[in-house]
Amino acid sequence: MPPWPGTPYPLGATYDGVGTNFALFSEVAEYVELCLVDEEGKEERVRLPEVDGFVHHGYLLGVGPGQRYGYRVHGPYEPGKGLRCNPNKLLIDPYAKAISGDLDWDESLFGYPFGAPDDRNDQDSAGHVPHSLVVSPFFDWADDRPPRTPYNESVIYEAHVKGLTMNHPAVPPRLRGTYAGLAHPAVVEHLKQLGVTAIELMPVHQFITDHGLAEKGLRNYWGYNTIGFFAPHEGYAALPEQAGQVQEFKGMVRALHEADIEVILDVVYNHTAEGNHLGPTLSMRGIDNQAYYRLVEDEQQYYMDYTGTGNSLNVRNPHTLQLIMDSLRYWITEMHVDGFRFDLAATLAREFYDVDRLSTFFDLVQQDPTVSKVKLIAEPWDVGPGGYQVGNFPPLWTEWNGKFRDTVRDFWRGESATLGEFASRITGSSDLYQDDGRRPFASINFVTAHDGFTLQDLVSYNDKHNEANGEDGRDGADDNRSWNCGVEGETEEPEVLALRERQRRNFLATLLLSQGVPMLLHGDEMGRTQQGNNNAYCQDNELSWVDWRLVDEHPDLIDFVGRLAEFRRRHPVFRRRRYFQGKPIRKSDEVADIAWFTPSGEEMKEQNWDDGFGKSVVVFLNGQGIPDLDPRGMPVRDDSFLMAFNAHYEDIETTVPDGEYGAEWAIMIDTAKGEIVEEPGEPDVAAGGKVTLAARSLMVLQRVEREAE
C-alpha cells in the first residue's frame, strides 16, 4: 500500500494504534527514502511523499511497534561545503524512540579511515548498522507521581545502570546490568538505607563504542557517545525484543518513584557518536550536516570540537535546538524522569565562540513550561577556551561544584592556605552563586564522581594507574589532589588502613553536612576501588562494577553514611534554603546565625583566615536563626551545633566557645571513632571547656537545652 501524506509533526516515528507517521527534518535533502527492515535484514524502501517546512513525511497503515527502519537521504555530497548527504548510508532517525543493534566496525563496510572519504559507492548493508524502532506509546503508569523532593532536602546518588547491578547477588542473573535490575527491591532498599532521594544515572541514551576502543578490544562503558537522544540504551534492557527497553525503563522509573526516589539522567547534548570528519556517517551527518554540527567556518569539511570527542552540536540552529528541547520534554512527559545533569554544559552556551551566559538554549529552557519545572544540573565546563564556568550559569540552574571537590580534598590532605576557601565551600559557596540570586542548593557538592578516583582510591593512591586503558598512562587527570595515607595502593598495615577509614568518614561527613546538595558516587559507601584507575570510561568489567561482597566487609561505613543522611534530614540547619548572613536574623536573636572560632575558642579574625598553616576551625550554626518557612508557612527551628574540623596530623585541644553560644554541649558525631548519636544525652563539655579533637577528624556537638526547674 502506498504511503499516505501524513503530517510533519511530531518528528520521528509516531504509532497511533493503526499505523505509523514518519517525519524527518532535512533542509538539504532532495528526497528521503524510508527503509523498512525485516528480521533478515532485507529492506523495503518507500519514498516519503510530502515535504512541509523542510520536514519529509508520510504515514504507513499497518506499521506498528517493533518495526525496524532507517532513512536514506538523497542530496548533495560536497564535504568541503559541509554537505554530506549519501543515500548509500542507512541512517538512524534522530527522533528514534528505540534503537536496536550495534555498529559493525568492518573495514570492508566503511573503508579506511572510517567515513573519510565517505565513498558514495560503498553501500551499507542493513545488517551492519543500528536500526531505529517503532515503539508503542502505551504504558500503565498506574498512580505514578513525581516525588518532587526540594533541592535542599535532596541526597543524590550518581550510579551506572550496569555497574551498580551487575554483581548484585540478590538480583536474578538475567536482570543484572539492566533497568529491571536497578528497580529490584534489593537495590532500592540499599538506596533507601543510604538516605538517597534521587539517583543520577550515567548516560542511558543509546550510545556506541568508537572504533579506537573496538580495535583494543575495549568498550565504551560510561556511555558518553550518544547516537539517539530519545532512545533508552538497548544494552541495559533485559528484554529488548519489540523495543522492550522503553517499557522496561518506564517500569524502573515507576518502581523508584514508589520508593520516593527521583530519577535524574546524565545527558550528552554537546556532541554525538559520529565524531570528526574521519568518523562514521550514522545519522545527523548524513541527514543535514550543516544544521546539526558546528563546522569550521573556512574549512567546512572539519568540525568545531569543544568537547574533545570530535564534534559539537550546532545549538545556533533552531532545528537542533528543537531536537534538544523535544528530547528533554519527551523524557519528562513520556518517561517521567525528574531532571537532567548536562554533560559539558558550557558547550551548549557557545552560540558564537565564547561561552554566552544568556544563550538561546538557556532562554528556551527558562520559558519552557515543562523543562523549567524539573531539576537542571550543569557540568559547568567544557574543553574549549574559557570553558570553566563554575558559578556562571543562569538562576534556574544548579551546578556540579568542582571547587567544592578540589577544596575539600585539599583541606583533608593537609594542604596549606585552604582554610578560608574551605569555610566558603561548606557554607554553600555564596561567592559563586549568591550574586545571581541563587540559593545554597545551587551548589551540587561532591568529593568523587564517575570521572576520577573513587573515595577508596582517593585515600589510597597519590598517582593514577590507568594501564588497563591501553594509552600508556596519557589519559585521565594528573591533578587528583589525593593522598595515599603513606602507602601507594593496597596494604595490610593497620595504621594506614585505620587512617584511610577515618579519611573516608571525614570526606563523607563534610559532604553530607555542608550547605548545598550532596552527591555520592555509587559504591563509595562500601569502599569500592578501581585500583587507582581514574578514567575507567572503557572498563566494562569487574574493575568498574560495584563489588557487592564489600557490603559484608564494610557494614559500618554503609551504616555511617545512612546515619549521616538521617542526621542531615532531621536537622534543617545543615540544609538551609538561604545563605548565612553572619549576623542575627531577628531582633530577638542574641547571637548571629553563624560564627567562626579558632581551636582556642576565640572568634576568627582576618589574620586567622590568612594563616597559611591553619588546618583547624570551629563553626557555630544557630538553629534558631534559620530564615526559612516550612510547608505550612511556620518558621523553621532547629537545635544549634558546633562543627569542629582538624586536618592537622596531631590531636588538638579545642576550647568550646563561651556561654553566649551555649552553656553545655553533647558530642553527636566523631569521625575519629566513627560514632553518630541520634539524640543528645548528658552533656560532654560545658562552655569554656575543652575537648580533644583527634588528628584528622571532624566532630559535631549539639547544644543541650535544659528545661528551667
Euclidean distance between CA atoms 318 and 461, whole angstroms: 47
The residue type found at 287 is I
Euclidean distance between CA atoms 405 and 421, whole angstroms: 12
Contact call for residues 45 and 35 (beta carbons, < 8 A): yes
CA angle 300, 304, 306 (to 5 degrees): 175
Mark whether 379 is an active-site residue: yes
Q: What are phi and psi of 95, to 5 degrees?
A: -100, 15
Please name the residue that has the C-alpha cell 590532605.
413
Of the candidates 265, 268, 269, the one whose C-alpha atom is nearest the C-alpha of residue 158 is: 265
Peptide bond into 203 cis (omega under 30): no
Which cell numbers in the block locate residue 585?
Answer: 536574623
Instruction: Give the DSSP H/E element, type plus range, for residue 700.
Output: strand 697-703
Which cell numbers in the block locate residue 4?
Answer: 499516505
Q: Exactly one of 33, 210, 248, 379 is catalytic; name it.
A: 379
The residue type found at 63 is V
Helix (H/G/I), strand (E/B), else coil: 682: coil
379-400: string of b/e by CB count within 10 Å (b at 16+)?
bbbbebeebbbbbbbbeebbbb
Peptide bond into 627 cis (omega under 30): no
Contact call for residues 432 and 461 (beta carbons, < 8 A): no
Euclidean distance between CA atoms 158 and 200, whole angstroms: 5
**Beta strands, E only, 312-464:** 339-342, 375-378, 398-400, 443-446
Please name the residue that has the C-alpha cell 563489588.
547
Strand 443-446 to strand 198-201: parallel, antiparallel, or no bridges (unpaired)? unpaired
Q: Exactly one of 343, 399, 457, 684 is catalytic; name it.
A: 343
Euclidean distance between CA atoms 159 and 365, whole angstroms: 26
Mark whether 678 is an active-site residue: no
| Helix segments in 401-529, DSSP class H | 402-412, 419-426, 430-433, 455-458, 494-513
Catalytic residue positions? 343, 379
